[in-house]
Structure 1
Amino acid sequence: MQIITKSSLQSSPDRAVDELLSALPEGRAPSLAILSGNHTQFDEHALAKLSGYCPTLLAGSSCLGVMTQAGMAQGDGVGLGLFALYDDDGAYGIGSAVVGDDPRRAGYAALESALADVGRAWQTPDLVWCIMPPGKEEEVVGGMVDLIGASVPIIGGSVADNQITGDWVQYVDGELCHDRVVVAALFPSGSIGYSFSSGYMPDELSALVTRVEGRHLLELDGEPAADVYNRWTQGLLNGMAPGSSILMHSTVNPLGRLVNAADGYTEYLLSHPAELTAERGLQLFTEVKVGERLYLMHGSMESLISRAGRVADTACQLLEEGHHPVGALLVYCAGCMLTVADRMPDVVKSINQEFRYPFLGSFTFGEQGCFLDRTNRHGNLMISAVVFGAD
């Protein structure tokens, strides 16, 4: 097994793809290729050239660019990265489906197509890697679980653009799309270690969800959710009108749900408040349910910088005994990336200190992952790592 990653800062999509391809061996197609980067770099002509060389290709946009072990590759209209996995003894298939008005069915159909593509329709993959549009991630993941059961890790991210204007994009079957769930079913010859976490800690403040409509959180402990959140954050929402975006304001203080992943081990699945609504509610980027307890979380610049390296290290520790890391895929929330801003090179440094192998990292508008309890979930402001190992 071999993994090659490469990024480009070329402004021309054609030249950027040529630079990515220059890192790959001639005459040998990758078993699996994953492309991520600035949505402005997604050009059908350029990506057709890449697809011709990498037939098993998943491609989705990432906020502003990507990161690899070589550093950050992002900027105004630049930033493209490629992950190429060579595994002659493994098997990999890809599939896609339009999300449409039945996201659960789309998740099922996309994964069903991927298993058919690899010729293992009745087998359970070791892992599913997914790329999907923001909005209905819980239902899409639920459809995949309907097909393969709850024990297979489903990991990936929601495609992103640069300004949250809906310009995110996927490249599927030779076309640019905005509404597809794209998945890869992985049957590697080696082992896989994975980790899903955040750089946030809980405060003592918490309340029960008492009224919610999908992703619209209306009441906490019987009070308007925005009033509770504003009190918890000491007036963070003061002066804001209904309809105001609060994404950047709330990044440091998201809401979290406690997950008891194992004996003596706890994690929190985060929800990012996105908008103050006319009902004094909070529009979230995840679903929550009546009766769930939400905690006020807090993050620091240092924790957001150092956490990615620790997540990669944790994934390494979960490889099969005797296997060494070969490379990794990382998902790092775009909200965290925008908060860390010009200190993102320190994030890459922290990863390289813990993980001295090739990796590709995307910046997403939602993260799908699996805690140690082996339950697949969708969250915000999260970090995930999938490490590939070989003997």
Structure 2
Amino acid sequence: MKIATAHTRLSDASQAAHALARSLKARLTTPQLLMVYFTEQYDADQLRETLSELFPEAQMVGCSTCCGVMTQSGYIEGPSIAVWACNDEKGCYGSALVPHEPHRQVADSARIALNQAIENSGRCGELPKLIALHSTPGEEEHTLAAIREELGVAVPVIGGSAAADSVQGQWRVFDSQRTANTGVAISVFYPSARVSYSFHSGYAATQRSATVTDVRGRQLVSLDHQPAAEVYKAWYEAETGIAFDTQQPVFTQSTLYPLGTQTGTIHGLPYYTLAHPMAFNEQGHLELFSQLEVGQSVYLMSGTSEGLVARASRVVESANDHALRQPEPLGGLAIYCAGCMLHVKDKLEQVAHNINTALYDAPFVCPFTFGEQGLFKGGELSHGNLMISAVLFHKD
């Protein structure tokens, strides 16, 4: 298995695609899979069509990213595109996009996309070693549940919801055939290389907790039968000693203080899936980027800017499995939350440097997403916010 990446800041989609192709073909003559990450300024249809013409035999998935992208070369601010590519004589890969349609459940779109990707890989009837999931924001929990139900077991997933420079809906996903602003794009991996993975939050639970007593979709209505927005604001002010500024975006103020639900334990220590508060609405509900359920215990979580810079490399280190063997990664994919990225944007070169060190300078690409999906070490497949995940491919 050989892995290569390329990036460009050329603003024209067709010219950018040709530049990416020249760079990739210098190292991989016939890549089997392209993972394409691009900022919202690009014509996604033009980018897809040109790359499909230049790599007619390759499976492909594209996903928009927030404000830029990161590779082993560092942070590349938008307008920018980065491509992760692999060639694997003994491996197989398949991709598919299924746009959402009004008459079809999101879970059904996910099942169709998964089965089409497996069929396109030529490995029907075999479980993939890895699934890369890029859906548009909304109902990712149903997408993951459908994937697990369809396969019958928990296959490792590295996922990131399509993003843009704002939450105005300018995100896109594509495969080699079509582009969509709502849909599910999936790549399945049957690599010859060993795969390892890690999925973390990097935040700690505070002593402030409550039970979810009412939800409406992704609106958290009440905690312990009290208006959720009031409870969150009181928690925030008590934890930080700072008055919550209702004139400023909730999204930015809550980045270091999201909500969390305990997902499991490992070695006796709890780990959490995070939900990022996005806004208070007029009814006093707390709008989130993920779904909570009535009866769940919810904690106020706490993080630091320093932790957001350091944790990307910690997740890669965790995926390296140092305790099992000396790591020799061929390359990797990482997913980093857009909310975290915006909070530490002036330190992204340090984040990239840290990942390079943990990856022994092997090639990687990392988009910035509006939701993250992954498989915890305890076997739970989860969608969260403000998370980071990594998957590595190894020589052994």
> What band does the TM-score fall into relative to the shorter chain?
over 0.9
Choose from 375, 384, 387 the match for 2:389. 384
Query: What are the within-5 Å matches in structure 2 for residues 300-311 of structure 1?
Result: 300-311=304-315
- Cα shift at 1:10: 1.7
Residue-by-residue CA offset, 1:223-266 (whole Å, 9 max, x unaligned)? 1111111111118775638xx85111111110011122433242
Would you say the 8 A contact 1:130–1:182 is kept in 2? yes
**Backbone CA RMSD of aligned residues:** 2.0
Equivalent residue number for residue 46 of structure 2: 45
Unaligned runs of 5+ in 1: none
The CA distance in 2 between the partners of 1:4 and 1:319, in whole Å, is 27
Deviation at residue 36 of structure 1 after TM alignment: 0.2
State the distance in 2 between where 1:173 and 1:10 align: 21
* Residue of structure 1 equivalent to 2:272: 268
In 2: Cα distance, 1:217 partner to 1:60 partner: 28
2:375 corresponds to which of 367, 370, 376 = 370
Check 1:146–1:31 CA distance in 2 against 1; reply closer, same or farther (3 A cut).
same
Residues 173, 349 of structure 1: CA spacing in aligned structure 2 closer, same or farther, 3 A cutoff?
closer
What corresponds to 1:12 in structure 2?
A: 12
TM norm structure 2:
0.93
Match of 1:116 in 2: 119
Distance 1:297 1:46 in 2: 40
State whether structure 2 residue 237 is matched by structure 1 residue 240.
no
Instruction: Classify the secondary structure of the residue corresponding to 1:39.
Output: coil
2:66 to 58, 63, 67: 63
Task: Indicate how the Cα distance of structure 1 residues 239 and 184 shifts in structure 2: closer, same or farther if over 3 A, else same.
Answer: closer
Single out whichever of 7-16 and 57-66 deviates more from structure 2: 7-16
1:294 partner amino acid: V
Q: Is the 8 A contact 1:108 1:146 kept in 2?
A: no
Amino acid at match of 1:371: F
Amino acid paired to 2:93: Y
Q: What are the within-5 Å matches in structure 2 for residues 1-391 of structure 1? A: 1-25=1-25, 28-54=29-55, 55-75=58-78, 78-100=79-101, 101-234=104-237, 238=244, 240=246, 245-317=249-321, 321=325, 324-356=328-360, 357-391=362-396
Percent identity reads: 34
Distance in 2 of aligned mates of 1:303 and 1:321: 27
**Distance in 2 between the 1:265 and 1:389 partners?**
28
Note the alpha carbon deviations across 1:154-179, whole angstroms, 9 max, x for none: 22100001111100012234433111
Deviates more, 1:100-109 or 1:258-267: 258-267
Query: What are the Cα deviations for residues 40-78 of structure 1, in whole angstroms up to 9, with x where unaligned?
Result: 124433432212333211101000121001011113xx1
What's the TM-score, normalizing by structure 1? 0.94
Q: Are the structure 2 counterparts of residues 154 and 319 from structure 1 closer, same or farther at C-alpha, using a change threshold of 3 Å?
A: farther
SS in 2 for 1:349: helix
Number of matched residues?
387
Query: 1:298 offset after TM fit, Å?
Result: 1.3
Q: Describe the superposition over 1:274-312 as per-residue Cα deviations: whole angstroms up to 9, x where unpaired.
A: 110222120111111111111111111100000001101
117-126 vs 82-91, greater mean Cα deviation = 117-126
Cα 1:99–1:237 shift into 2, 3 Å: farther
Paired with 2:198 and 2:307, the residues of 1 have a C-alpha distance of: 16
